[in-house]
Structure 1
Amino acid sequence: MAAVNQVSTTVSSTGTISFHNINYTVGTKARSHKRRSKCLTLPFFKVTEQKQILFDVSGRFMNGMNAILGPSGSGKSSLLDILADRKDPRGTSGIVLVDNFPRHPSFRYTVGYVVQEDICSGTLTVRENLYFSVSLRLSEALSASDKRVRVSTVITELSLEACADTRVGTEFLRGISGGEKKRTCIGMELVLSPNILFLDEPTTGLDASTASSIMNCLKDLSRRGRTIIFSIHQPRYSIFKLFDTVMLMCNGQCVYHGSAKGVVPYFSTHDYQCEPYDNPADFALDVLIDIGRKPDIIAKLNDLYNKTDADTSAAFPRPGNMIDLESLDHKRRKYKVQAARSLGAEIFYLSQRTLRNSFRNPALALSQISVSIILGAMVGLLFYDLKKTTDSGVQNRLGAIFFISLNQIFINVTAIDALLKERALFIHEYASGYYRIFTYFIAKLLCDLLPMRVIPTILFSIISYFMMGLSRTISQFFIFLLTIFIASLFGSAMCFFISAITSIFPVALIIAILICVMMTMFSGFVLDLDSVFKWLSWIQWTSASRYVSNLLIINEFQGLTFCLSNQTNVCPMTGEQILDNLDIPHANSWDLWKNFLALTIMTVLFLISSYIQLIRIKKTK
């Protein structure tokens, strides 16, 4: 497969994007009873129907403010994604040209795309977010001083000087305003110096004043020779008059494409009159909603549009050349686009951001450490100075080990929420060409999962181990510490995998709880594993709690003797006898370390599965 560099080409100087006969079809669940009944005997087959979203949409966007306006479900966001090369190519057809040439394979990485949600790192400052973007998306040939100059220029362009060194903010950290956050997201795209900038409903969720500020900012950018293309739902008049061209969409078809001033006169010729002092955008939306219930009028307006100068002046290729251009468009997808930066550079910048996120997020960093200290002290107090007696000594040791083995895995469920919140950031950044999946995974593992397990593990182990009065030898403490660490790492890997397979927090939480409950049931403490049905007994070999408890029990009980509590110095029970009663093999060191090996293998399998799932996550819309 041929390869091209992500930054080897830039968008043409004029930034004119034209498109012809864009169709888009998606598969939806079949609603027809007849279609479903055909597959009643084969429930594993997904019955789908094809639904067409866009119908032969054509047009041209040039330098200036280009709005795609329409009611919900009209196809405006789908068209925007197709033009930006963000839509899954399956189900799409038609030609998209940039300055009358097919889009380069690296097109999606050399234009700006701002999603509807404000996606950026909340623990970083505005300047740090912009510097992160320019560091990963532009060539290594750009010096550090040039990067800083480019970032400062964008900050000035977007009037972000007052908040440049203020953190963006999270739900736990007060930060910048909504308008400043939107401009920060725009700035993360502008550091590429793109001539084409796409925005998906940039005013959604903003108040009227902030929305006007954002659109005036975009208007200023368009005056500097940029092509600004955005979808928008229902703008106020002060925003509508900023548009240079407007494309009106209704039920997946274009019914008007021309100047913003020409909207009212155009519809007046079709018996739709705009009341005096009425907002033209509101008027247009009312018309679109009305004709949306009249397919014959939509067809008439669409046919009329296809015959207007707005379409014919687009200088589209002749029908004989359409097949060749479409063939070229399909071929470009076969090129493998090389990353702008090396693996080492990506890991460095990702690790730097990940560590900043960890240290600047009090809800994550401090809570992990605080909980470890509190739980360590609580366990130490509940099982303080365990006696070596046959009654309480044995029972309390087993109880402490059961609680520790369960807690060290289950407590990591709290990380699911943070991982899910980062999921949207990962999808957007990967789709925009910030980094490879491999480098994101390595940075996440080395600078998040491992550090957030090491420090809490050491604190919990030191506090609880010596307060409980467990066997005080260096080797046994080391095994205890290592077991707690790998148990915590297993819990983190499990939560990482769960957050990769679903984006819904309640679903992720239910999956995590079910896994923890099953592991607890088959840990060997709750029920006699020999009494379980044979067709269910295999689950015990997938129970991480079982391996953790086996490690801790062997480590603690081997070599101990338990005496009667009447101070007669009669010690009728040894730790080995207790291990035999619990049916835990302990003949040699392999019986200890095989549990550690099994736990390590399960952890690695979860990490590998997480990486595979990150690859499988749909990056296109």
Structure 2
Amino acid sequence: MSLSKKKERAETTIKEMGLQDAMDTRIGGWGNKGLSGGQKRRVSICMEILTRPKLLFLDEPTSGLDSAASYYVMKRMIDLARQDRMTIIASIHQPSSQVFQLFHNLCLLSSGRTVYFGRSDIAYKFFESNGFPCPSHQNPSDHYLHTINTDFDEDMDQVFHANKTTEEAISFLVRCYKSSHTCQEIHRHVAEICIENREELKKGSQANFISQCLILTRRSFVNMYRDLGYYWLRLAIYIALCSGLGSVFYDIGSGYSSIQARGSLLMFTASFLTIMAIGGFPSFVEDMKVFQRERLNGHYRPAAFVVSNTISSAPFLLAISLIPGAITYSLVGLQQGCAHFIFFASTLLACMMLVETLMLIVASIMPNFLMGLITGAGIQGLMILSGGFFRLPHDLPLVFWRYPLYYIAFHRYAYQGLFKNEFEGLTFPAAQVLQGGGGGGGAAYIKGEEILRNIWQVEMGYSKWMDLAMLFAMVAFYRLMLLIVLGTVEKFKPVIREINFFFLGKQEKY
């Protein structure tokens, strides 16, 4: 279906649900400007209808609606079901006689037991034939609910069950239904459907993958653009921080002392600038809530969400890498050359994409704000310690810190790539020159390659572009991990909830 037809269908559905006067109204407006409870209910129904599902579950769709609106909404649902060959299963609260007549089939449950399941228009015969006739001029649905209601046993026994208790009456009706012709017909019909239409039931009605990605990318980009706290505030903070960083290391020079200063600057850039991406964690948590609700409703697949999030966030992350990065690079006076700055900004971009993906993974597993921040910051702290700056690679303890953490921490590739980008091709005066020596009359200099090999213990067997390629490969791997986590987290959510509440000291039972 083309986008124009989808838009036309959406507008038609909105009008048929009586929402044409609220088409330009914000759902969560201030004061009296927002939608009413009944209108919000109809909007939620419209959202489900637009996906054209073959099977639609509605939990009390008429809640908050008056009797006229309830009939109108349910009548429209029946028309849609016929038009799109849709099956609708709804639990409904105290339907009027008009609304009850719209239902083709009826299922009555009491304490998990099936009291009746069959055509709604002949349910009265079942109750009448088993000693519970519906009184004249009474809504049949009210009579059925009163008969099988167990909340007020003492009062209900005297009014509806004659000489039987509520439990006895329900058990009697359950036995009667199991032995009835209606029950046998239902079992036979279900068996036929399972055999004949098994493949038909598996067919979906989702939009294709490309359409899902395009729509989600546009929506995600608009949300990021409008939300000041998502990227704009972070951009402002990065500009302020990089301006401060540039002023601290202003005009760093090319003396021997600048070797350590350049290394510290590059380490700070790859570590503490990128770790600030956790500032977007609250927005990530909200994105995960929306994704989980929409995925469970069958709107799109996890892969579409991952692709759209990657594409929509890339322009903002690129801006954060280029603008603050240019400020720091120019103020400090790092190695000149367009290729050197491009590598610097690209490394910063890759690191921020890695941190964002890591925090998205954490947000999908731990939706609790405090737990998520602690977990994400803790993981990155361990990676920074093993990256090869605070403790040089050859000096790292072999167990855990060097094998495997040093090789899987992205900071290692960021540090080494930035060091190569800065020191290769430069020369610095050796330490003894600064001591006023010069005994032999010749100036002693140390090449950048020697600094990389002997001072920073950088692996020189491959170029800096290989380090950058490793960073972007890790971005792809982290995104794949996010996809796997999104696809499997629902199975382990009960366990995750128990762990979260254990650490938070809560004893609420799920």
TM-score (norm 2): 0.72
Cα distance in 1 for residues equivalent to 2:319 and 2:26: 26
Aligned to 2:481: 609
Q: Deviations over 1:528-560 (max 9, x none)?
A: 443433222211111211211111122112233
Amino acid at match of 1:262: H
Cα distance in 1 for residues equivalent to 2:323 and 2:199: 51
**1:465 counterpart = 2:329:** yes
Cα distance in 2 for residues equivalent to 1:215 and 1:528: 74
CA 1:346–1:225 in structure 2 vs 1: closer, same or farther (change >3 Å)?
closer
**1:373 counterpart = 2:239:** yes
CA 1:250–1:339 in structure 2 vs 1: closer, same or farther (change >3 Å)?
closer
Q: How far 1:613 sits from its partner (Å)?
A: 2.6
Cα distance in 1 for residues equivalent to 2:15 and 2:190: 45
Q: Which residue, out of 113, 130, 135, partners 1:253?
A: 113
Q: How does 1:287-366 map to 2 (within 5 A)?
A: 300-306=168-174, 314=182, 316-317=184-185, 321=188, 324-325=191-192, 327-328=194-195, 332=198, 336-337=202-203, 339-366=205-232
**1:184 counterpart = 2:184:** no
Cα RMSD after superposing both structures: 4.3
Paired residue secondary structure (2:310): helix
Q: Deviations over 1:227-265 (max 9, x none)?
A: 875447xx7x8x889973997755423568973321576
**1:223 counterpart = 2:75:** yes
8 Å Cα contact 2:16/2:76 also seen in 1: no
8 Å Cα contact 2:38/2:64 also seen in 1: no
8 Å Cα contact 1:195/1:225 also seen in 2: no
Give the unaligned 5+ runs of structure 2.
Answer: 82-87, 118-122, 124-139, 494-510
Q: How far 1:475 sits from its partner (Å)?
A: 2.0
Aligned to 1:382: 248
Cα distance in 1 for residues equivalent to 2:288 and 2:394: 42
Structure number with higher strand proportion: 1
Paired residue secondary structure (2:203): strand
Paired residue secondary structure (2:457): coil
CA 1:493–1:561 in structure 2 vs 1: closer, same or farther (change >3 Å)?
same
Q: How far 1:480 sits from its partner (Å)?
A: 0.9
Q: How far 1:461 sits from its partner (Å)?
A: 1.2
Cα distance in 1 for residues equivalent to 2:145 and 2:394: 80
Cα distance in 2 for residues equivalent to 1:247 and 1:195: 20
8 Å Cα contact 1:431/1:620 also seen in 2: no
CA 1:377–1:261 in structure 2 vs 1: closer, same or farther (change >3 Å)?
same
**1:266 counterpart = 2:126:** no
Aligned to 1:66: none
Aligned to 1:116: none
CA 1:304–1:522 in structure 2 vs 1: closer, same or farther (change >3 Å)?
same
More RCO (CA 8 Å, sep 6+): 1
Q: How does 1:340-489 map to 2 (within 5 A)?
A: 340-391=206-257, 393-448=258-313, 450-489=314-353
**1:592 counterpart = 2:470:** no
Cα distance in 2 for residues equivalent to 1:511 and 1:486: 21
CA 1:591–1:344 in structure 2 vs 1: closer, same or farther (change >3 Å)?
closer
Q: How far 1:524 sits from its partner (Å)?
A: 1.8
Q: How does 1:50-65 map to 2 (within 5 A)?
A: none
CA 1:361–1:314 in structure 2 vs 1: closer, same or farther (change >3 Å)?
farther
Q: Bigger shift: 220-229 or 463-472? A: 220-229
Q: How does 1:61-76 map to 2 (within 5 A)?
A: none
Cα distance in 1 for residues equivalent to 2:492 and 2:343: 46
User: Which structure is larger by alpha-carbon Rg, 1 or 2?
Assistant: 2
Amino acid at match of 1:473: G
8 Å Cα contact 1:264/1:273 also seen in 2: no
**1:158 counterpart = 2:30:** no
Aligned to 1:582: 455
Amino acid at match of 1:425: V
Q: % of aligned pairs identical?
A: 22
**1:516 counterpart = 2:368:** no
TM-score (norm 1): 0.61
Q: How does 1:482-497 map to 2 (within 5 A)?
A: 482-497=346-361
Q: How far 1:169 sits from its partner (Å)?
A: 5.0
Q: Bigger shift: 260-269 or 367-376? A: 260-269
8 Å Cα contact 1:379/1:464 also seen in 2: yes
Cα distance in 2 for residues equivalent to 1:545 and 1:620: 30
Give the unaligned 5+ runs of structure 1.
Answer: 1-138, 204-210, 276-282, 288-295
Amino acid at match of 2:471: L
Cα distance in 1 for residues equivalent to 2:90 and 2:205: 27
CA 1:474–1:383 in structure 2 vs 1: closer, same or farther (change >3 Å)?
same
8 Å Cα contact 1:550/1:584 also seen in 2: no
8 Å Cα contact 1:183/1:214 also seen in 2: no
Amino acid at match of 2:72: D
Cα distance in 1 for residues equivalent to 2:310 and 2:323: 21
8 Å Cα contact 2:70/2:99 also seen in 1: no
Cα distance in 2 for residues equivalent to 1:447 and 1:436: 17
Structure number with higher helix proportion: 2
Cα distance in 2 for residues equivalent to 1:580 and 1:358: 43
Cα distance in 2 for residues equivalent to 1:298 and 1:402: 74
Aligned to 1:526: 390
8 Å Cα contact 1:408/1:491 also seen in 2: no
CA 1:249–1:340 in structure 2 vs 1: closer, same or farther (change >3 Å)?
closer
Amino acid at match of 2:233: S
